[in-house]
Amino acid sequence: YLSAGDGVDAMVLASASALVGVHRFGTVYYHNGANSCGAYYSGQVGDSLIPYAECAVSDHPLLASFVPDTVLSRSDGASLDALVGCSVSPRVGNVTAYLEYRYRSSGFTPDDWDSLESALASYPEAMGQAARLRGLVASSLPYFYTATHTAGIRIQNASAIADRIDYNLNAFYLAPDGLYLKAESTLSLFDRMKLISVAEAMVALGDKSEIGWWNETWRLTLAARWTVTTSE
């Protein structure tokens, strides 16, 4: 809007980028009741290394609150999200590896989890109410977004093995004390038929993180996918 006479903030989105050889730089500004700006970079070093990075700064928390202020009051000031990573594809081994690290200043710390636990435990409602509230909060957690520090690695084949097999392995550490693990493989059979197997696990290394609010969970999936094409 050119003016906000109706009480609605004007929305502004601006972006600029530049390409220098194989290196790309960009900036973004966004206003919609609050101000956020960001920057990103991607490039290539040699034949096998692709670095990338991005960050965002805002005058409000970039992680939206998922619990009422009456349960846990947190700062509503400025926040920073930043991510740096790279992919590596060596000439031998037929693998590509991705490494990433993310920092989120509005993420939850061990002290935040302690405060949230204490706030729910001190509720004056009838016996069991705090446990139900804890379950309600845990079921609404934005998993993989609340950690202040996150580091991960993904390994996958660079090209299909024997023209039939693809796989990927993933491991992420969600500070302060949670792990997410995933392994997936795909076998291509006759005429667009694929067999897919997936193993996933969330492992709590303690009780001061989002994963610690659940028992350790795991899942195994076996599936067959057949792609059918039609023509007139």
- Among 46-60, 157-171, 184-198, 216-230, where is mean pLDDT lowest? 216-230
At residue 63 the predicted structure's pLDDT band, cuts being 50, 70 and 90, is confident
Q: Taking the CB of residue 220, how many other CB atoms lie within 10 A of it?
A: 9
pLDDT of the residue at 42: 97
The mean per-residue pLDDT over the stretch 218-230 comes to 87
Question: In this structure, which amino acid lies at residue 113?
Answer: W
pLDDT of the residue at 169: 97
At residue 123 the predicted structure's pLDDT band, cuts being 50, 70 and 90, is low
Report the range out of 23-27, 56-60, 198-202 with the highest average pLDDT.
23-27
218 beta partners: 201
Contact partners, residue 6, CB within 8 Å, separation at least 6:
none
The mean per-residue pLDDT over the stretch 57-85 comes to 83
Residue with tokens 């670095």: 51
Question: In this structure, which amino acid lies at residue 84?
Answer: V
Helices (runs of H) and strands (runs of E) counted in the chain: 2, 11
Helices (H), the chain: 110-121, 129-139
At residue 4 the predicted structure's pLDDT band, cuts being 50, 70 and 90, is low
Q: In a 3-state reduction of DSSP, which class is residue 49?
A: strand
pLDDT of the residue at 231: 67
The percentage of residues in the chain with a pLDDT greater than 90, rounded to a whole number, is 44
